[in-house]
């Protein structure tokens, strides 16, 4: 089984979100109970041919388990909001972020090995390891780009109160550990379920998954349910095993 350099913080990843993700003057992402500021976006880099100028991109690693446990303790516990009015169209994706490269193609290039792209940034070859189920792929069409915190879950957790620019930023966030290329089958099994309803079949990934999920909810001031919080705590216990 191939090994990828997943979830490592790299200096180059701090300059990823293009200004179109969160226009100047937009309010910050806020959910119950207290307003707070999500991290400001940084300017994007542009591709040169099939390679990125600053070198290989890496999905930022979530904070350590100890930090995440503190974040989890601080999350607001609330019943899910109504799905009335929800539409994936209210979370515009995938947007252009690197010249002609949209968010999906950036993630495919970032998360694969030896990825080659055509002039429109489409991945035409490469190898990908799906962290959720330990499957290996050589065809990009067999992969989905998963939102660690699904769009519908975010809506139920407070994103129903956001503006469209805020939801666009969330849906295309390359700075934090919110997007990952995984097998289409595992992503569709997950759907919009929270960790108490679905967890990656590959238990070895539970620690990273729980750290990423909790950190994203912390950064975007999203709520959790009691069962969700309990399952996240259980999954964080695997970090110590």
Residue 52 — pLDDT band, cuts 50, 70, 90?
low
Cα end-to-end span (Å), the chain? 21
Q: Quick one: tokens of 179?
A: 């997007």
Residue 60: pLDDT band with limits 50, 70, 90: confident
Q: Which conformational region is residue 56 in: left (phi greater than 0), alpha (psi within -120 to 50 degrees), or beta?
A: beta
Write out pLDDT tens, residues 181-197: 999 999 999 999 999 99
pLDDT band at 1; cut points 50, 70, 90: very low
Q: Can you tell me the mean pLDDT for 14-29?
A: 34
Three-state secondary structure call for residue 22: coil
Portion of the chain with pLDDT greater than 90, in percent: 72
Average pLDDT over residues 193-210: 98
pLDDT of residue 50 exceeding 80:
no
pLDDT at res. 13:
37
Q: What is the pLDDT of residue 30?
A: 35
- Rounded distance, CA 227 to CA 241, Å? 22
């Amino acid at each position: 089984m191939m090994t990828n350099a997943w979830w490592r913080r790299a200096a180059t990843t701090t300059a990823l979100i293009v200004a179109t993700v969160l226009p100047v003057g937009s309010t910050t992402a806020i959910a119950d109970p207290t307003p707070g500021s999500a991290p400001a976006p940084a300017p994007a880099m542009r591709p040169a041919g099939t390679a990125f100028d600053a070198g290989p991109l890496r999905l930022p690693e979530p904070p350590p388990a100890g930090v995440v446990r503190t974040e989890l303790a601080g999350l607001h516990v609330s019943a899910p909001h109504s799905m009335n009015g929800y539409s994936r169209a209210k979370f515009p994706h995938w947007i252009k972020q690197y010249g002609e490269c949209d968010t999906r193609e950036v993630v495919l290039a970032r998360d694969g090995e030896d990825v080659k792209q055509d002039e429109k940034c489409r991945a035409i070859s490469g190898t990908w390891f799906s962290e959720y189920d330990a499957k290996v792929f050589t065809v990009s069409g067999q992969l989905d780009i998963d939102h660690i915190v699904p769009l519908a879950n975010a809506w139920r957790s407070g994103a129903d109160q956001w503006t469209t620019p805020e939801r666009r930023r969330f849906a295309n966030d390359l700075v934090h550990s919110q997007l990952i290329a995984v097998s289409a089958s595992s992503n569709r099994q997950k759907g919009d379920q929270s960790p108490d309803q679905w967890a990656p079949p590959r238990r070895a990934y539970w620690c990273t998954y729980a750290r990423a999920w909790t950190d994203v909810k912390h950064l975007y001031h999203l709520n959790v349910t009691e069962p969700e919080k309990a399952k996240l705590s259980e999954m964080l216990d695997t970090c110590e095993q």
